[in-house]
Amino acid sequence: MKLTPRQTEVLELVRSHLEVTGFPPTRAEIAEALGFRSVNAAEEHLRALAKKGAIELLKGRSRGIRLLLPGKPDEGMPVVGRVAAGSPILAEEHIEERYPFSRELFHPPADYLLRVSGASMRDVGIMDGDLLAVHRTSEAHNGQIVVARLDDEVTVKRFHRDALHRHLVVLLPENDDFEPIRVDLREQHLVIEGLGVGVLRQELEVSNRFRRT
């Protein structure tokens, strides 16, 4: 994929705007940042980038710009749906599709996207049906949002380990309608599958921050 210098500038602006703010720029923001006389010039460059496969333009949205990864159709971050008990989270049968989205938009980089089921993390903006960007790791610190496997069931919660009794862990929801899950590591098997590092809304907007409402 060969881009003109101006197209490269526009693409890098879209990338940097996503990294800093969590969502794509508007046409007006692109025009202002790059000194275009009108938003039409920004639109023309975006359409050229879309034709070359660098981005996808989503109709009817002022920020409807989606970055695409170059490469084969089966490349990209895997989208994991329902996870069967006892099987690896990235087993092929769990992968619904592969989403052409740059893992580097998140920090630390995301390794896969987990489709959220339920409203237990609603108050930090993780909604039912959203895609949670997950960085694979087996380590977690208090206060981090984790993907945890507890006795073969996978859940998304906020992690807290008792400072005095290290065998006690609480998986905290972010919704008062749900109860905390208390775990005694002497009796139950808990595995941290990864950290939540961002969320893709159903509208395809990106957030790399979790906020309490």
Query: Among this protein's residues, is 157 annotated catalytic?
Result: yes
Instruction: Check 59, 62, 87, 157 and give the catalytic one.
Output: 157
- Alpha-carbon Rg of the chain, whole angstroms? 20
The DSSP H or E segment spanning 11 is helix 5-21
Instruction: Check 102, 120, 138, 207 and give the catalytic one.
Output: 120
For the chain, the straight-line distance linking the first and the last C-alpha, in angstroms and rounded, comes to 42
Q: Alpha carbon of 105 to those of 8, 119, 130, 191, 197: distances in Å?
A: 17, 25, 17, 26, 10
Is-contact 30 15, C-beta < 8 A? no
Is-contact 36 42, C-beta < 8 A? yes
Supply the DSSP string of 31-100, one letter for each residue: HHHHT-SSHHHHHHHHHHHHHTTSEEEPTT-TT-EEE---S-TT-SEEEE-PPPTTS-TT-GGGEEEEE-
Antiparallel, parallel or unpaired: β 168-172 and 153-161: antiparallel
Query: Among this protein's residues, is 59 annotated catalytic?
Result: no
What does the alpha-carbon distance between residue 114 and residue 199 come to, in Å, rounded to a whole number? 9
Active-site annotation, residues: 120, 157
